[in-house]
Amino acid sequence: MRRTRIGAGAALTAGALAITGLAFAPAALAVTPATATITADCGSFGGGEASITATQSGTAATVTVNSSAITAPIALSEDSIASTLTLVKASGGTVAFSGTENPAMAAGDPVQVGPLNGTVASGDSLEAFGGSLQMTVFGITITCTATGPQSPGPFVFD
């Protein structure tokens, strides 16, 4: 009987600790919208519609850029593109997201870069229009700029 009471007490204590842990766990942060669309001009390298997906964990944020309109000019190996996406802050200034993450791509494949890492503050409102995406491949820098505001609107970070 005593063993049953100790087991039941231990189970109740563990359950109470688990519930307390959930109550004090940090809330998941969100960026709104999670995905936005832009029309990009990459000069002689082409252009067209691209989507930008953003995520946030505290002050760390990542963005990924995908475009079926902008294609790889040649076959590219995984993690071979050095990229920096600069977004414009509504309050002034810019935030840069950088990295060398990309999947392997055959010539003509849609371009995808990211996740690119950056730092945000709570309440930051970031827009691609006025910023740029620079991708360096084999020493050649390709600069893409948005031709208008992103849709549905700027990224707002919690």
Bridge partners for 102 per DSSP: none
Residue 20 has pLDDT above 60, yes or no: no
> Distance (Å, rounded) from C-alpha 151 to C-alpha 128?
10
Bridge partners for 52 per DSSP: 36, 65
First to last CA, the chain: 52
Residue 70 has pLDDT above 90, yes or no: no
- Write down the pLDDT at residue 15: 40
Mean pLDDT of 67-72: 88
- Write down the pLDDT at residue 73: 84
Residue 135 CB contacts under 8 Å (≥ 6 apart), including other chains? 81, 82, 83, 111, 113, 141, 142, 144
> Distance (Å, rounded) from C-alpha 82 to C-alpha 153?
27
How many angstroms separate the Cα of 71 from the Cα of each of 116, 127, 132? 19, 23, 17
Structure-model confidence comparison of residues 126 and 5, the more confident one: 126
- Write down the pLDDT at residue 14: 38
Residue 54 CB contacts under 8 Å (≥ 6 apart), including other chains? 31, 34, 35, 36, 61, 62, 63, 155, 157
In which band, very low, low, confident or very high, does the pLDDT at 29 lie, cut at 50, 70 and 90?
Answer: low
Task: Round the average pLDDT of the chain to a whole number and report it.
Answer: 86
Write the DSSP symbol of residue 60.
E
- Write down the pLDDT at residue 26: 45
